[in-house]
Amino acid sequence: MIDKLPIAIAQSLITKDVEENGNHIRELMAQAHKSGARLIHFPEGALSGYVKTQITDWNTVNWDIVRNELLMIMEVAKSLGIWTVLGCSHKLTEPNRPHNSLFIISDRGEMITRYDKRYCSQTEMNDWYSPGQKAQTFDVDGFRFGCALCIEIQFAEVFSEYERLDTDCVLFSAYSEDPIFWIQAQGYAATNNMWFSVPVPAQCGAELQGGLIGPNGYGLSRCHVNTQPHVQMVELDRKNPELQTALTKARPWRRKARLRTIYEPGITGDIRSGDSTNF
């Protein structure tokens, strides 16, 4: 089992021009590869743009261009040998609305899988997206990754499920300026003892900076406090001394505790235990 995995968190600039987004994404992929990253993680809507900002009407989206840009990104992933996790809308058969998705592209340029956002906001449900149906995990060099998007940070069950699926790191992409997202991600990281990779668009960087959170809940690295595109190199390190309690003690013990079986020998039939109305 590999103990360390270098990854890149992309604070990319998202525009209305999908071709411009595609060129920008490929440039950041090249930067990440040059710095030694095995995986690069992009924000929500990095290629297609996000609804209510870059996308104001689905009829304005040229899906052929989105597909062509995605194919070119897959070719670059293959040539560089870098895993790429990319936010992009996914067209469904009309009249169904698209999914809000993360595309997972392997270092061989193959579309391994796609994660579709399951917990959509009321506005998204009414006007923009069809919800996804299942959690999604994939493995890179012995590390297991799970995926989540934006408002899903409000749903603890998303992340407890990934813990049960033996996920090492959650790739949480968002298009948001709300600093509470980082705080909530820290809480889930600490509760479930998993790394969290958090990229946001460059235009959100003044208010909410992306970065990497450790399985102890503490921020290990933050992107720049500005609105410029940026690639933050980070590392998942199983041997980091500061993370040993979280990884080797807290996580396995909490898994047993959640099953409640470790408490059964200590449950007493004492009448004072059963009587909850008296001191």
What local confidence, expressed as pLDDT, does residue 267 receive? 86
The closest of 142, 182, 170, 131 to 3, measured between CA atoms, is 142
> Edge to edge, what strands does the sheet with 111-116 contain?
111-116, 99-105, 83-90, 39-41, 4-11, 230-237
Angle (CA) 246-249-254 rounded to 5° is 85
Angle (CA) 92-95-100 rounded to 5° is 40
Q: pLDDT class for 123, splitting at 50, 70, 90?
A: confident
> Domain holding 111: CATH number?
3.60.110.10
Is residue 11 scored above 80 in pLDDT? yes
Q: How many domains does the chain have?
A: 1
Q: Is residue 27 part of a domain?
A: yes
Task: Please say whether the dihedral angle defined by the alpha carbons of residues 158, 159, 160 and 161, taken in this order, is positive or negative.
Answer: positive
Is residue 153 scored above 80 in pLDDT? yes
Mean pLDDT of the chain: 95
Average pLDDT rounded to a whole number, residues 111-120: 96
Q: What separation, in Å, do the N-terminal and C-terminal C-alpha atoms of the chain show? A: 53
The share of the chain scoring above pLDDT 70, in percent, equals 100
Q: Is residue 259 part of a domain?
A: no
Q: What is the pLDDT of residues 167-223, one digit of tens each?
A: 999 999 999 999 999 999 999 999 999 999 999 999 998 999 999 999 999 999 998
Q: Following DSSP, what letter does each residue of 225-248 receive, concatenated?
A: SSSS-EEEEEEEETT-GGGHIIII
**Residue 96 one-letter amino acid:** N
As a whole number of angstroms, the distance between CA 205 and CA 101 comes to 21
How many CB atoms sit inside 10 A of residue 186's CB? 18
Give this prediction's pTM.
0.95
As a whole number of angstroms, the distance between CA 211 and CA 219 comes to 7
Q: Is residue 215 part of a domain?
A: yes
Is residue 152 scored above 80 in pLDDT? yes
What residues make up the domain containing 25? 4-241
Is residue 234 scored above 90 in pLDDT? yes
Contacts 24+ apart (CB under 8 A), 157-166: 158/118, 158/119, 159/188, 159/191, 159/192, 159/194, 160/191, 160/192, 161/135, 162/135, 162/137, 162/192, 162/194, 163/192, 163/193, 163/194, 163/251, 163/255, 165/135, 165/137
Q: Is residue 247 part of a domain?
A: no
How many CB atoms sit inside 10 A of residue 276's CB? 6
How many CB atoms sit inside 10 A of residue 71's CB? 12
Q: Is residue 25 part of a domain?
A: yes
Q: What is the pLDDT of residues 95-107, one digit of tens each?
A: 999 999 999 999 9
Q: Is residue 201 part of a domain?
A: yes
Q: pLDDT class for 126, splitting at 50, 70, 90?
A: confident
As a whole number of angstroms, the distance between CA 46 and CA 25 comes to 8
What local confidence, expressed as pLDDT, does residue 268 receive? 86
Q: Is residue 266 part of a domain?
A: no
Per-residue b/e over 221-234, b at no fewer than 16 CB within 10 Å? Answer: ebbbeeeebbbbbb
Q: What is the pLDDT of residues 39-49, one digit of tens each?
A: 999 999 999 99
Answer whether the bond into residue 215 is a cis peptide, omega within 30°.
no
Is residue 224 scored above 80 in pLDDT? yes
Q: Is residue 178 part of a domain?
A: yes
Q: What is the pLDDT of residues 30-86, one digit of tens each?
A: 999 999 999 999 999 999 999 989 999 999 999 999 999 999 999 999 999 999 999
**Residue 119 one-letter amino acid:** Y
Average pLDDT rounded to a whole number, residues 243-272: 92
What local confidence, expressed as pLDDT, does residue 269 receive? 85
Is residue 1 scored above 90 in pLDDT? no
Helix (H) or strand (E) holding 207, with range, is none
Tell the burial category of 210 from Cβ atoms under 10 Å away from its Cβ (0-12, 13-18, 19+). buried
Is residue 258 scored above 80 in pLDDT? yes
